[in-house]
Structures are given as C-alpha cells and as structure tokens.
Structure 1
Amino acid sequence: MICYMKQDDGKLSLDEFQAFFSDGTLNEEELEKLFHSIDSDNTSDEGYTQGMNNAEDRTTFLQNLPIDDGPFTASELARTKSTVREGKSAGPDGIPPEVLKYCDLDDLILDFCNLALLHNMQPDIWSLSNIIPVPSTLT
C-alpha cells in the first residue's frame, strides 16, 4: 500500500481543525464558522486547492508569482554579503564568514552559485552543518 502525505505547511486546514475540536461541544456548522472567523485567508480545503488539480493550472499559478528565477546578480550578492554576521564560527567548509564578506571573491562566488543554480546541482557539503553544543554556565 502506498500512502501519500500532504506536506505540512504549518497551516491548519478545516478538516484538521474539525478533527481537533470534535469533542461534541460545537456542531459541524459552528466549527466551520469558528474556523473561518480565525482563518483570515479563508483557506478551506476546497477553495485553497481549487484550480490546482492539474499541472497546467499549477504551472500558470507559479508563473504568475513575483519570483525571479534567473541567475543571481551582483547586487543580490552585495545585499546578501551585507547581512553576514561577523564573529560566527565557520561551517563544514572551514571558511569563516569574514572571508566571504571581505575578500574580493564576488566574481568567483557569483559564477559558482549561478552554475549550481542553472544546472540544478550543488556540492554535498552545502547540505551539511556543524552543531556545536555549548554547555550552560548556570550556577
């Protein structure tokens, strides 16, 4: 048996809401009314997924989103570099954030990231992170 699970988007659907609050205090109509009074986006299962049942509708929906999927630009890199926090530990690659922020590697970084984006490939190390537990000093 194959079971497909809906990806959890962190939002509570009407069905999930009804299942959670089905202790008999409210009837189904009252539950739906309460749900929609809380749900400001009115994302009932029928309305939310309406028109998303075939690939063409999904493609049209996605194409209308204001998302730039072209190569990264120098201005995007500069904006991102300005948010890099200093004094943080290096990742699994061993490169401290200050190197990426202050060394003149913009062309190299931009070319590397755009090749990864355009060819839909990334180094395995980009999927790793270091977690270093720091003991509490509470006394």
Structure 2
Amino acid sequence: MKALIQRVSSASVHIDGNSVGQIEQGILLLLGIEKGDTFQAADKLLQKILAYRVFSDKEGKMNLDLQQTEGGLLIVSQFTLVADTKKGLRPGFSAGASPQLGEELYNYFIEQAKRLHPIVETGRFGADMQVHLINNGPVTFWLES
C-alpha cells in the first residue's frame, strides 16, 4: 500500500463538476493499493498518516500531526501510484490490486479513518476525478506500509 500525502491549506475532489469531498487545512492522501495488501497493512499505514508530524509548531518546526492540528483528511484512490515506471515509456500496472480488492481495502481504510479521526472526506473509487489543492509549503511525502 502506497500513500502520497500533501499538507494542504485546502483540497477538494470533483466528479462531473460536482464536489464530492473537500477539506480546509489538513492532508490530501492519494492512496494506491497493491496485490497482497491486507487490512493490517491499511491499519498500519493509517496510524502512520494520522501521527506523521508534518504541521508546524510555534517555532516553525514540523512537530505536530494531523490529530493535534484537528485538520481534515481527504482520501482519494489513485491506482497509478503503484505503477512500475522503471523501464520504457509506458507505466505497467501488474503490481496493482484487482478492482475488487482495491475497492474493499479503500472502503476499509475510509471506515477506519472515520472511526479514528473527526474530519474525513473522500473521492470515489474508480471514478474520473479532478483534485484541486493548495499545497502548503509545499510539503509532500511518500509513505508505504
């Protein structure tokens, strides 16, 4: 399971011109699910994301996590994160989870996030989405379970 997290001032996801999820200050999470990923991997990654210190304290150092800042979490599925880009000029997606497993783990991840954090918004699995964000910093990190 792979995650690209971005510290944002605001972020939103739209489908067919309609907003389906939006947050103010917080984290935009792009989530890629691979073959062999498990519920345990999802739990581990979620715990890391919620506790990852990417927000500035009073001294301007990245010492605060999402829960301490009470920011929003916008979760968007993105299968292209698991692409193999080492060879050639076209990405390979053989490492990606099947659509069934991907959707099951994505929905599980969202359920657990909503159980642990008060502000969770989402995109829609498998949809053609447009994501808008203001990356604060910019601050972007790549995490894996």
Name the TM-score, length of structure 1 as normaliser: 0.23
Higher strand share: 2
Say which one has the larger Rg.
Answer: 1
Name the TM-score, length of structure 2 as normaliser: 0.22
The structure, 1 or 2, with the larger RCO (C-alpha pairs under 8 Å, 6+ apart) is: 2
